[in-house]
Structure formats: structure tokens, C-alpha cells
Amino acid sequence: MAFPHRPDAPELPDFSMLKRLARDQLIYLLEQLPGKKDLFIEADLMSPLDRIANVSILKVRSLSLRSCPSFLFEQLCFLVRPRIKNMRYIASLVNADKVAGRTRKYKVIFSPQKFYACEMVLEEEGIYGDVSCDEWAFSLLPLDVDLLSMELPEFFRDYFLEGDQRWINTVAQALHLLSTLYGPFPNCYGIGRCAKMAYELWRKLEEEEDGETKGRRPEIGHIFLLDRDVDFVTALCSQVVYEGLVDDTFRIKCGSVDFGPEVTSSDKSLKVLLNAEDKVFHEIRNEHFSNVFGFLSQKARNLQAQYDRRRGMDIKQMKNFVSQELKGLKQEHRLLSLHIGACESIMKKKTKQDFQELIKTEHALLEGFSIRESTSYIEEHIDRQVSPIESLRLLCLLSITENGEPKRLQMRIYGPEHLLTFSNLRRAGLLTEQGPGDTLTAVESKVSKLVTDKAAGKITDAFSSLAKRSNFRAISKKLNLIPRVDGEYDLKVPRDMAYVFSGAYVPLSCRIIEQVLERRSWQGLDEVVRLLNCGDFAFTDMTKEDKASSESLRLILVVFLGGCTFSEISALRFLGREKGYRFIFLTTAVTNSARLMEAMSEVKA
Amino acid sequence: MDCYTANWNPLGDSAFYRKYELYSMDWDLKEELRDCLVAAAPYGGPVALLRNPWRKEKAASVRPVLDIYSASGMPLASLLWKSGPVVSLGWSAEEELLCVQEDGAVLVYGLHGDFRRHFSMGNEVLQNRVLDARIFHTEFGSGVAILTGAHRFTLSANVGDLKLRRMPEVPGLQSAPSCWTVLCQDRVAHILLAVGPDLYLLDHAACSAVTPPGLAPGVSSFLQMAVSFTYRHLALFTDTGYIWMGTASLKEKLCEFNCNIRAAPKQMVWCSRPRSKERAVVVAWERRLMVVGDAPESIQFVLDEDSYLVPELDGVRIFSRSTHEFLHEVPAASEEIFKIASMAPGALLLEAQKEYEKESQKADEYLREIQELGQLTQAVQQCIEAAGHEHQPDMQKSLLRAASFGKCFLDRFPPDSFVRMCQDLRVLNAVRDYHIGIPLTYSQYKQLTIQVLLDRLVLRRLYPLAIQICEYLRLPEVQGVSRILAHWACYKVQQKDVSDEDVARAINQKLGDTPGVSYSDIAARAYGCGRTELAIKLLEYEPRSGEQVPLLLKMKRSKLALSKAIESGDTDLVFTVLLHLKNELNRGDFFMTLRNQPMALSLYRQFCKHQELETLKDLYNQDDNHQELGSFHIRASYAAEERIEGRVAALQTAADAFYKAKNEFAAKATEDQMRLLRLQRRLEDELGGQFLDLSLHDTVTTLILGGHNKRAEQLARDFRIPDKRLWWLKLTALADLEDWEELEKFSKSKKSPIGYLPFVEICIKQHNKYEAKKYASRVGPEQKVKALLLVGDVAQAADVAIEHRNEAELSLVLSHCTGATDGATADKIQRARAQAQKK
């Protein structure tokens, strides 16, 4: 049932090279410190590391792996993200050793790069001379054949909230690496401030080292850079495509998911790698959830039929069957039962929370009708204290789609630190403010009636000038994001990208990409760009020489700065199938609505 | 041609030595060479002469002159010597002139007589004076060895990385050794010295007496010793006129020779070729030059003038007042070709080519002869190789012509060796030119590498030639042309008589956007010469803003540096500048600077958040950013403060800030939080249990769960919790308690603002169908069907749905009809539907 690619769809480049590069560099770095050593690996780096190097590889290099501070050997190696917090931790260890009179060799390997601020902290803590520093430029992890992740979830908060631009350089370097390995990109498009900065930095890098990529045949014809804040709406919606739903429910971490006992129907949890190699998953990952069950049961029947063929086989055939097919069948069987378990578990959870109602509300918000009902649904949601993250998400969705700010009384019921969360959301543009002079929308007046505290005024924080107004409604109309549906939308045979949201909404980000690719420029989209508040940050850059093969011109690298969701990936995969493109995704991290909200909330230390 | 071998002198049976003129010198020396301290750098390097040295009892009033010439005698520099007496001169591997003074100070001069630096060989040397000094070359660089007045040796193996080593004492040494030299073995420098009939080897730990194997008896003193260029061989000259030649390890004797001249030679140097079996030393006396080797006879030359020997990798250079000659063993390829009556393939090929030019059929005969022996490839190779060793372009040409001629008759002869030889010879001939004066041989050139040769040309400020060579050899721009242009520019900025504008323009014109040229390096040089303005002008041409920053900081243009750093997009760079600024400016100015640079500001804020919270507060304060200040104190109220009083105080500050920011909502919320905290404290005191840090909602819930309904209601009133929320809250809490009685009482307290469906739902969730039914009847009409279905009363649900005539509700009920029990109900619905349709 999975849609096969068109026969003329281009081949994807081989990204396993990136893994090899990273692994070799790590081994090289570790060998710089000969002899036995303790290796301290930051928790966040554990999963990405696991994806490129088996722990066994490290063991072969005579390392003792431990993550607790009771170290054995005279050499200590830290593999960390460049965070000040980590530096302080390392400093405390080193200083404790000093007090105890122990002398050891320390080495800090920063991934993906070293920041001066980190060295500063080491210096301030007085241990700069005691440690040696190195960089492990591991910035691109291929999670799947078409998905590269930088595994930098903090990018979102650091850039969109704190205005910290240091990761942009990392992005530029990652792009530079890609272009050295896979040839230059003849056509570049982008939207968003960060996209533009990353692009310019990357160009600068290319210029400094020119000659290397020149004359190489491009393998990837287009690159599209997109800031997350261009489209928050899509990221805020509940996902209903299988992969997205698994992410929302179980949290996919670094391409693998921990299925708990309720899924595995045994007493232990199981870590499952979710990618194109899982044949069952590969077929259902992009499907709307309503189809998945049907598909799985069909599959189960097929499997059974194949098992049944055993009957009536003679010995020779049986031998053949056991040696060749059985293993594959068994494997498939195992995966199938896992995914069925996952589906059941999802169903259980989703019906409990009145999932249908929730989806209905979201769709109403996207389409812009029955705002009153939606608002009271959200109100009830808050009153019932279902989950603060979920409530925040709905509030943001309401605020962006209606371009208005609902009142924030509910803050109190979730605790005082959410006062800061709200200020964060506003600063990042997830909660928008009505411009002065705007008439109160129906929601606004409705909300203020519901609210007892009439004194609630507007927050005029220092960033009000930066706070963006959302023009979602107008953009939606311009880009035709809400498909006209006559009768039922057939989710089995999707017509457009809207299927990822049950046919109610075409993801804005994907629509922009589609439109730009169609026109090969931003021409004719001026109004949309203006409405997105990205007037100065939409760009196109084409190289004149036409060395690109038609094959490569149908390969498109989409770069999401600040994260992308599985729904967006599914939607673009669908678009690719329709138009004969192949999309490659590069994201700072795979995200979803809950992760966005968590990044914005202030948690108690 | 017949006399081509006229200057070949046989030594023994197998080797020929030849001496030919490199240049005729017109350096117009005023003094005899013997009156000067002389130093000539190897690899055709420059010659330094210090006239009028102090060893002569002359009027001290006359200041001596230090002259530097190229190998062809072109003057490079001349300066009056103003420092103390000099004992020895020598060139380092970087072609810097090292002048060892009597007091142990070593002055370092450039090729053009520019003073570079000086260093001292230690206090001990200062006290005892320097008797003698040697400058030697190892693979690590150039070293200096010194013999002091106390007959002790001090040496430094690398003057670039000065580490003085004082060698151990030689027991019983009363007078200066008759001769000594530096040996390099296993990457360590030793000193070999001769005292009377004894030889001693000094390493850094001990002094050991050594005896050369097979030394002829009767030696009472050693007059000279010489180490070969590669430190592999050693030659000793004794007072009996006997020369011992052996390995430098003193383990093996190679040969010996008795020249029967008892006078001490002026100089003795090795003359051998790499990879050659022949060993020979050249010994020079006042008027006589002798080449001796493993042969009973020696080659003798008469010296017309005072001469000086310079050992080279593959021979010896000999220069005097009027000429500069090169003496070396004839290389094998040349010998094969030019030896009289040679039948070597190369010789035949050369002959064939000559006949061919004469249009003689003999050419064919020769060629055939070679081909019959199958030696044509070898012949071509021989000719190419021999061409490399020829000094005269004419001879090079005829050999190459022969090679090219032979190549025509070969199928697959790889052309690169021929092409490369042509290129190399072209380069060699260019640098050997009289005006350039670097008489490199082919072997020396290969050993030196083209990169070093280019460096040496740059050092001599021969930029155009260097660039032409780069272009001719098609070297990559970054290694070649750009590097040379950059050097040129660095030299250019030192020309103080040209104005800043002109220099900057000239440099930009020549360099343009040549890849690999770093304008910032040139600017740094300009700044080093004290031309700050020029440096800034040059930096403008630097395309990479990242490169501009460090220098700008150094020049104290911090603000410009900051904007350049921000332009570069490199946050690390911005940070560097920020910290620089922080130390340089006072706090107020620093903050003002930040204020205009939002990117730098947010970067610094991030840092402060983790490292310097107080600074963060100051930052907000200075900007009157009350909103952020409020947030800051709120964070402090739960992150930094432990005591409840402190937390309330922090919240109070936050509230004040919010008022100032005109954010009344936040201010009120903060004040509420203060009230809540105080209240929670009281609750904990009075009721026990954990209340602090709960949200308002949770506080009320906890109260209800603890059975304190009164207090809960009071709290709800105090904090004006909306009715709806309170109802939800109570409903959930009571259901959790399974206090059904209280729940019923509560449901009847007044009309529910949230309806009664939630009551039904929550009862079902707690698996209490009985209680659920109680509320189902009270559910409003819109949700009644749902409620009835929830409690499982399908029949009644059907009735209600039929009554409502609601299609959606009817199908909902129908979907719940299962099995036989509900069969009747299903029929009923179908009937009702049919009826509805009829109407």
C-alpha cells in the first residue's frame, strides 16, 4: 500500500559516508591519548554516538566506558557538547582531583565544535592549563536514507528565544561539508533570517576554500533553507501520520524508539530502530493513522498465508523455505506484532483523551470557524488540568491562527514559573500580540468575558518591537492551505499534502517549498513573503553554468533550521512522489509540538 | 669536443675529478682573504667577510667593515662593525649571519645586513672569553659550538630554539686543543678534539678517549680534522703529513694517504658525491691544493691566489680574489658519456645525434648499434641525467637534444623525466646567472627543494624572478605566486619614505584578489613597523572579516573590531572581542557598546546567565528593561533563594519591576504568588504536609484530598478561582477520594457550571456505574444520549435520540447496539428513521 516511487525518481546519495567520517575522526581523536582512559560521554551524545559507532568499537580501543564520576584510569577523556554547564562540571572534577592531590591527564572533546565561551569558563575555573581541548566535527547524523539530523535540539531555544547565533556557524559548516562531499548546489532558496545568515556564512566558507568544489558535478540540484519560525502552525498541530503519531506518543529519539511493556506485550521494553530498513514500518510510516490498522491486518494475513505454504511442501522445498525465507518471515512477524502493539497503545491513549475532539478543535482553528467552541474547549482543557504542555500548545495555536493573544490567567494553576514561559513564548513569536488599532476579534472579546480578572493588561515587554504579528489567516487564503473538500476526503488515496492532517490543512512550510520549486524563485510570492514578515529574508541564488544533470535537479535538500516534524517529512515525501522529486531532509533536530513547548518552558532547576 | 675531458683528473682507477669556473669575481677586495674572517653559506649561499679583524695588532681606532656578497661577488651589504671583537662568522640554514663575539654574545644579521637579534652563550663564556667557535648544520637547524678560554666547550644544537649545553671537562687539558670539530651522530651533537697524540670524544655526559683504527704510528699531534657534509666521514691530518680517512664513528678506516708535507694545511674539506663510492678530501695550503683519496697518487693544483674552500653536498667550492670555482667528482652518467673512447649507450646516442645533424648516415649506424644491444632507453636516460650535471648551457642543450633524438625511436618512453629535467635546468640556469649568484648544482637543488629555493630568492628580494619561476613551473598559487606577493607586500610596507595611501594602493594593485594572500598578515607587518594607519587601510582589503579582528584588537580599535566580528558571523570571534572590551572599557561604556549591538548583547547575556548573574541584572538595569528584570527576579525566587522570606522578597522586587514595565498582569500574578507562598507556609505550619511550591490548583486539590473543604473554598474565593475550574477541580479530587457522598452533596450545592456529563464520565472512569446513573438523569438534553450510553442504558438512549430526531445521535446509539439484547432497540431506531424519512 505504500506508494512506490515513480520509476524515474532519482537515486539518493549515499550518506553513510558521513557516519564513516565521523567515526574515523572520533577514533583518531581518542587515539591521540594513548593508553587506557576513562571516557565520559554526555548523555545527549550517547544516542547519536550509538548510531555511528558501536560501543564495541570503543571497547576495542581499550577504553573503559563509564558515565559516573568514579574513574579508574590516569587519563580522563570527556566527550561533550560545548555547554557552560558541562565546563563547570569538568572543572569541579578536575579541581576535586587537585585537592586530593591526584594528577591525571584530561582531554575535552567538543562536539560538534568548541566555543570560546567554554574555554573562557575553563580559564575562569583555573583549569585551562590542565586540560587539552579538541573538536569532533560530528554535525550530521544520517537518521535514515533521506533524513540527516544535526541532533541539536537546543538550536531552537538558543536562536529563536535567546537570539544566540553561535549555532549558525555550525549549520554553515555542515552545509559546507555536504557540498564538498556531494558537489555544489546549483540552486539555492531560503526564507527566514537565520536561513539567510547560515547561507551567507556558508558561502563565505566556500569562497575561502574555493577550488575544491569547483568543477564537481552537483549531485543535489536544489537546496531550500527554512526557519522554523516561518511556520509554527504546522509544528503545533497534533500529528496523525503514523511516524508522527509514534513520535508524539512514544518520543522517537535519534531514530529509535523505546516501546514499553504495553507495546511489546512482555515485561520489558524494547528499543526499536525506525528507518527504511524496517520493512513494515517503511510501508506505514507515511500513512494516515486510520489506514494503518487495515494495512497491518492485511499484512498479517499475507504473512500467515506465506507461513501456510509450508503445508504440502516436500522435504526439499521445506529445506529451502527454512533456509531462505523463514528468517525473513520471522523478522517481519516480529516487527508486525510490535507495530500492532504500538497502534493499540496509541489507540488506547488517544481515545482516553478525547482525541477526536482535540483534532476537531485543531481543525476548526486552522480553518477559522467555530472559534467560540474551540475557545471554550481550550478553556475546559485548562480547567481540567489535562497537561500543561498540551494546554500551552493549544493556546499558541489559537493565538497564531487568530492573531490574538488569549488571556493568561491559567498561568497560576500551573505554577509561577509559567509567567516566564509566557514571556518566552511571546518573545519567540509563538504567542502573538495584537497590533494596536486592531479591533478585538470575536475570540478576544469572548475570552475577556470568560475571564474574571478584568485588569489583565498587555505586556509591553522590551521585545514587543520584535514580536511578530501572525497573518496566518491571510496566508492560508493566499496559499490555499485549507483544501476545498466535496464530501469525504479519501485518506487511502491522498490527493494532496493535506492528508497528513486528515485532509484539513496543507502544511504551510511544505506549501511554500512546493510553490518556490514550481516557480524556481520567489516570484509572485511577494505578498506571502510580506505576510510572513520575511520581506528581507527570502532569497534565491542560481548558478549560471548548467552542469547539473536532470537527475540531480530532481533531488532537493530541505534544511529546517529549528527542527522539523515527521508530518512535514511525510508531506514532502508525498509531494516528491507526485512530482518525481526526491527530498532529502536536514534538520537541526526532529521536533514536535511537545518539544517546542518544552523548549520554551522554564523548568525549575 | 675533443678537449672536453681536458680538465678531468683521474684519481686512482675509477674516478675523475674536475674543476671548472663558476664566476670570475670582481668584488674588488681591498684586503687579502687571509686577513679576513670569512664565512660562506652552503648551497651557493652568500659570503660574509669581516675585514680588519682583531687578531692583528692594528690600530684599534679603525672600525672594521662587515661585507656581504653573493656567491658571484655582487655586494649585498656593507656595514661598519660597531660591536665587540668577533671570533667567528657563520651562516645559519635560514641564511642568517651569526657573528660570535669574544664575550660569547652572538649577533644575528640578515642577508642584507639588517640586524635581527642577539643571544648569549652563557655567563661562563662571558667570563672566560671565546677562543674558537664553529657554526654547524644539523637536520634540526643550525648550531653553535664554542671553545672557551677555560678550554671548555659549550654548544647549542639549534639557535632557533636556544638550549645551551655545557660539555663535560676534558681531564688534564691544559692548553687549547690542536684542532676540534663537531660531529653529529644519532641526532646528537658531539665534539671531537685532538690534544697532542690523543683524540677525545665529548658527548653531553662524558669525555672518552678514542683511537682511530689503523692509524699509522708515530703521530705526535693532529693538525686538522674534517667532517663530511653529511657527518658520515672524518679525515685527520697529522704532523707527519699523513691523512687518515674513515667513518665519523671512528669504527672503520676507509683509506690513508701520506702526502709528506708536514706543514699544517690551511683548510681540509671532504669532496664526495652522494651515493658515490669514491671518498676524497681536498687539502689546501697557502699555494697548493691537493685532492687525495683511495689511490697512491693525488691530484695537485697550484693556487695562484689566496683561496677559501666551501664544502658542498657534492663537491667543493673554491673562491679567491678573482675567481670562483667548483671542484667535484665527475658524476657517473657524465663519465660514461664523455670518457675517452666510451662505448656506453649514452655516448653512442650523443654521437648519433651529432652525425644526424651533419646529415651523415653514420647516425643510423650508431643508433642501430644501441638498438641491437637493446639499450636505447638506458641511453636516453643517461643523456638526460648527464645534462643535469653539466654547468654549461651549450653542453646541457646538446645532451638534451640527443635524449630527445633517442626518444623518437622509443615507443613508450615516459616523457616526464625529460620534461622535468628541461624545467629544472631552466630554473638552475636562471639562478646561476651572475646577477643572481646562486651556483646550485642539480643534486644540491634537488636536496634543497624548489620551495626553499623560492624562499631564498624572496630573501634576496628577487620577487620577479621568484614569481616567474612559480609561473613557469605552474606551482599552485597558494604555495607559489601568492606567497611571494605576500612577502613582497610585507617588504613594501617597510619602505617608510612612501606614503600610506601609495603603499596601500600599490599593494592592492599588485595583489588584487589573488587567492591565498592574507592582507591581515601584511597589515600586521605594517603595524609592526609602526604604521597603524596603513595597517587599517590594508585591512580594508581583507575579505575575511574574521582575519581583521585580532589585529584590530591589537591596534586597540576594539569597536571597529566588534563590528567586524559581528559581520563575520563567527560568535567565537565576537566573544573574544567582547571579553577584550570588557577589560578595556569601564562597565558603563562596555554596556553602552553592547546596547548598540544586539547580537553581541544576546551572546553576552547567554554567557552571563550561566556565569555572572549579577552582571545580567546590571545589564537589564542599565537598559531600564523592567520586564526582563522582573523575569530575572522571578527566576531568582525559585532558583536562587532557599528561605521563604528571601523568595517573597525576590517576588516583591519582581512585582515592582513589572509595575515599572507597565505589565500589570504580570505584577498582579506575582503578587498573587507571594500571597500563595505565605499562605502555603501557614498551611504547612497549621496542617502539616507539603504545600510549598504547589500551584494554586494543586494547593486546593491537596486541601480537598486532606478533607479541608472549608479551607479549600476559602482559598478559591481568595484567589478568585473561576467557578468552572473550581468545579472541575473538586469533581476530580472527590472522585479520586471516592467520596461519593460528598460528591453528591457538592453536585447539589448549586447548578453545575460544567454540566453533569463530566460527573458521569468520572464515575465511569472510577468504575462506579451506580453513582454514574445518578448523574446521568441530570445531564442536559444535548449530551443526554452520550451520558446514557456511558452508563450503558442503550434503550433509554435510543428513546431520547428518537425524541430529539437527531440523525447523528441515532447512528451513535445504533453503533452501540451489540448482540441480541439490543436487537429490539436497534429495530426501534430503524423504524424511527424510516418514519422520519417518510415525513
B786 touches chain A (CB under 8 A): no
Q: What is the pTM of this model?
A: 0.68
Query: How confident is the model at residue B60, as a pLDDT?
Result: 57
B695 touches chain A (CB under 8 A): yes
User: Which of A283, A269, A383, A381 minimizes the C-alpha distance to A336?
Assistant: A283
B753 touches chain A (CB under 8 A): no
B637 touches chain A (CB under 8 A): yes
Query: How confident is the model at residue A6, as a pLDDT?
Result: 66
Query: How confident is the model at residue B290, as a pLDDT?
Result: 92
pLDDT in tens, B529-550: 778 888 888 888 877 777 788 8
CA distance B422 to chain A (A): 29
User: Which of B637, B734, B628, B632 minimizes the C-alpha distance to B693?
Assistant: B637
Report which of residues B57 and A403 the model is more confident about. A403
As a dihedral over the C-alpha atoms of residue A409, residue A414, residue A419, residue A424, rounded to 10 degrees, the angle is -110
Length of chain A in residues, anyone? Answer: 605
CA B441, CA B388: separation in Å to the nearest integer?
8
Collapsed DSSP state (helix, strand, coil) of residue B504: helix
Please, what is the average pLDDT of chain A? 79
Interface test with B, best of A385, A408, A463 (most B CBs within 10 A): A385
Per mean pLDDT, which of A208-212, B238-242, B748-752 is the most reliable?
B238-242
Report which of residues A379 and A285 the model is more confident about. A285
Interchain contact, B638 vs A416, CB within 8 Å: yes
Query: How confident is the model at residue B1, as a pLDDT?
Result: 44
User: Which of B367, B375, B427 minimizes the C-alpha distance to B396?
Assistant: B427
A462 touches chain B (CB under 8 A): yes
User: Minimum mean pLDDT among B115-124, B395-404, B749-758: which range?
Assistant: B749-758
Which residues, in sequence order, are CB contacts of B346 under 8 Å at separation 6+? B333, B336, B337, B378, B379, B381, B382, B383, B386, B402
**What percent of chain A has pLDDT above 70?**
83
- Residue B498 φ then ψ, to 5°: -100, 145
Q: Cell for A30?
A: 581518542
CA B18, CA B315: separation in Å to the nearest integer?
10
Contact list, A462 vs chain B (CB under 8 Å): 623, 625, 627-628
Comparing alpha-carbon positions, the chain B residue that sits nearest to A166 is: B571
Q: With contact defined as beta carbons under 8 Å apart, do B390 and B428 qualify?
A: no
pLDDT in tens, B307-337: 999 999 999 999 998 899 999 999 988 888 8
- CA B234 → CA A145, B135, B178, B224, distances in Å? 68, 17, 16, 11
All domains of chain A, ordered by start, with CATH?
A: 33-137 (3.40.50.2060), 142-231+507-600 (3.40.50.1910), 242-351 (3.90.830.10)
Q: Long-range contacts of range B763-769, CB-CB < 8 Å, 24 or more positions apart?
A: B763/B735, B764/B790, B764/B791, B765/B735, B766/B735, B766/B738, B768/B738, B768/B740
Q: Cell for A517?
A: 520549486
Nearest to A162 among B606, B611, B623 (CB): B606
A95 touches chain B (CB under 8 A): no
Query: How confident is the model at residue A417, as a pLDDT?
Result: 65
pLDDT in tens, A388-410: 788 888 888 888 887 665 554 44
Query: How confident is the model at residue B728, as a pLDDT?
Result: 82
Does position A453 have pLDDT exceeding 80, yes or no?
no
Does position A58 have pLDDT exceeding 70, yes or no?
no
Q: With contact defined as beta carbons under 8 Å apart, do A540 and A523 qualify?
A: no
User: Minimum mean pLDDT among A576-580, B388-392, B511-515: which range?
Assistant: B511-515
Does position A605 have pLDDT exceeding 70, yes or no?
no
Query: How confident is the model at residue B809, as a pLDDT?
Result: 76
Report the DSSP beta bridge partners of residue B299.
Answer: B291
CA distance B37 to chain A (A): 48
User: Which strand ranges, in their side-by-side order, compose the sheet holding B267-270?
Assistant: B267-270, B280-284, B288-293, B299-302
CA A51, CA A22: separation in Å to the nearest integer?
11
Burial pattern B223-245, b for ≥16 Cβ within 10 A else e, equals bbbbbbbebebbbbbbbbebbbb
Q: With contact defined as beta carbons under 8 Å apart, do B734 and B743 qualify?
A: yes
- CA B651 → CA A259, B392, B616, B620, B645, distances in Å? 43, 94, 17, 17, 10
CA A328, CA A306: separation in Å to the nearest integer?
11
- CB interface of A with B, residues 204-223, below 8 Å: 204, 207-208, 210-211
Does position B173 have pLDDT exceeding 70, yes or no?
yes
pLDDT in tens, B763-810: 887 777 888 888 887 887 777 877 777 777 777 888 887 887 777 777
Give Cα A399 to chain centroid, integer Å. 23
Quick one: CA dihedral A60, A62, A64, A65, positive or negative?
negative
pLDDT in tens, B439-486: 999 999 999 889 889 989 988 888 889 888 988 888 887 777 878 887
Query: How confident is the model at residue B608, as a pLDDT?
Result: 83
Query: How confident is the model at residue A461, as a pLDDT?
Result: 29
Banded model confidence at residue B284, pLDDT cuts 50, 70, 90: very high
Query: How confident is the model at residue A2, as a pLDDT?
Result: 46
- CB interface of A with B, residues 172-191, below 8 Å: 172
Query: How confident is the model at residue B181, as a pLDDT?
Result: 92
Query: How confident is the model at residue B422, as a pLDDT?
Result: 93
Query: How confident is the model at residue B235, as a pLDDT?
Result: 92
A449 touches chain B (CB under 8 A): no
CA B56, CA B145: separation in Å to the nearest integer?
24
Query: How confident is the model at residue A438, as a pLDDT?
Result: 36
Query: How confident is the model at residue B296, as a pLDDT?
Result: 86
First to last CA, chain B: 132
A414 touches chain B (CB under 8 A): yes
Please, what is the average pLDDT of chain B? 84
- CB interface of A with B, residues 118-137, below 8 Å: 120-121, 124
A456 touches chain B (CB under 8 A): yes
Give Cα A28 to chain centroid, integer Å. 30
CA A274, CA A285: separation in Å to the nearest integer?
9
User: Which of A166, A155, A66 minimizes the C-alpha distance to B570?
Assistant: A166
Give Cα A525 to chain centroid, integer Å. 26
Query: Architecture of domain B31-210 in CATH?
Result: 7 Propeller (2.130)
Per mean pLDDT, which of B210-219, B547-556, B664-673 is the most reliable?
B210-219
Q: With contact defined as beta carbons under 8 Å apart, do A485 and A503 qualify?
A: yes
Per mean pLDDT, which of B221-235, B468-482, B565-579 is the most reliable?
B221-235
Contact list, B720 vs chain A (CB under 8 Å): 452-453
Banded model confidence at residue A537, pLDDT cuts 50, 70, 90: confident
A372 touches chain B (CB under 8 A): no
Contact list, B625 vs chain A (CB under 8 Å): 462
Q: What region, left, alpha or beta, does residue A199 occupy, with left being phi > 0 and alpha being psi -120 to 50 degrees?
A: alpha
Banded model confidence at residue A445, pLDDT cuts 50, 70, 90: very low
CA B65, CA A62: separation in Å to the nearest integer?
66
Interchain contact, A461 vs B673, CB within 8 Å: no
Q: With contact defined as beta carbons under 8 Å apart, do B77 and B112 qualify?
A: yes
Nearest to A452 among B569, B638, B722 (CB): B722
CA B627, CA B356: separation in Å to the nearest integer?
98
Collapsed DSSP state (helix, strand, coil) of residue B728: helix
Query: How confident is the model at residue B649, as a pLDDT?
Result: 86
Query: How confident is the model at residue A414, as a pLDDT?
Result: 57
Query: How confident is the model at residue A441, as a pLDDT?
Result: 33
Amino acid at B121: M
Contact list, A414 vs chain B (CB under 8 Å): 695, 697
CA B627, CA B603: separation in Å to the nearest integer?
19
Interchain contact, B570 vs A413, CB within 8 Å: no
pLDDT in tens, B258-279: 888 888 899 999 998 888 888 8
**What percent of chain B has pLDDT above 70?**
97
Query: How confident is the model at residue A456, as a pLDDT?
Result: 29
Contact list, A408 vs chain B (CB under 8 Å): 665
pLDDT in tens, B647-703: 888 888 888 888 888 877 778 878 888 888 888 888 888 887 777 777 777 888 888
Report which of residues A34 and A198 the model is more confident about. A198
Interchain contact, A416 vs B637, CB within 8 Å: yes
Query: How confident is the model at residue B140, as a pLDDT?
Result: 78
B567 touches chain A (CB under 8 A): no
Q: With contact defined as beta carbons under 8 Å apart, do A273 and A256 qualify?
A: yes
Query: How confident is the model at residue A443, as a pLDDT?
Result: 32
- CB interface of B with A, residues 476-515, below 8 Å: 515
As a dihedral over the C-alpha atoms of residue B429, residue B435, residue B437, residue B440, rounded to 10 degrees, the angle is -10
Banded model confidence at residue A65, pLDDT cuts 50, 70, 90: very low
Query: Architecture of domain B1-18+213-330 in CATH?
Result: Beta Barrel (2.40)
pLDDT in tens, A207-261: 777 655 566 778 888 899 999 988 899 999 999 899 998 998 888 888 888 888 8
Query: How confident is the model at residue A408, as a pLDDT?
Result: 46
Comparing alpha-carbon positions, the chain B residue that sits nearest to A196 is: B569
Query: How confident is the model at residue A226, as a pLDDT?
Result: 92
- CB interface of B with A, residues 581-600, below 8 Å: 598-599
Q: Cell for B312?
A: 658542498
User: Minimum mean pLDDT among A148-152, A562-566, B164-168, B735-739: which range?
Assistant: B735-739
CA B451, CA B480: separation in Å to the nearest integer?
8
pLDDT in tens, A22-36: 888 988 888 887 777
- Residue B91 φ then ψ, to 5°: -105, 140
Does position B835 have pLDDT exceeding 90, yes or no?
no
Summarize the confidence of residues B2-15 as an average pLDDT.
Answer: 81
DSSP string, A27-58: HHHHHTS-S-EEEEE-HHHHHHHHHHS-HHHH
Residue that has been written with the C-alpha cell 506485550 in this structure: A265
Interchain contact, A168 vs B569, CB within 8 Å: yes
CA B287, CA B297: separation in Å to the nearest integer?
19
As a dihedral over the C-alpha atoms of residue B324, residue B330, residue B336, residue B342, rounded to 10 degrees, the angle is 70
CA A454, CA A439: separation in Å to the nearest integer?
18
Interchain contact, A380 vs B754, CB within 8 Å: yes
Interchain contact, B628 vs A462, CB within 8 Å: yes
CA B557, CA B565: separation in Å to the nearest integer?
12
Q: Cell for B66?
A: 662587515
**What percent of chain B has pLDDT above 90?**
18
User: Which of B4, B40, B13 minimizes the C-alpha distance to B390?
Assistant: B4
Does position A545 have pLDDT exceeding 70, yes or no?
no
Q: With contact defined as beta carbons under 8 Å apart, do B110 and B116 qualify?
A: yes
Contact list, B725 vs chain A (CB under 8 Å): 382-383, 413
Number of Cβ atoms within 10 Å of the Cβ of B127: 12
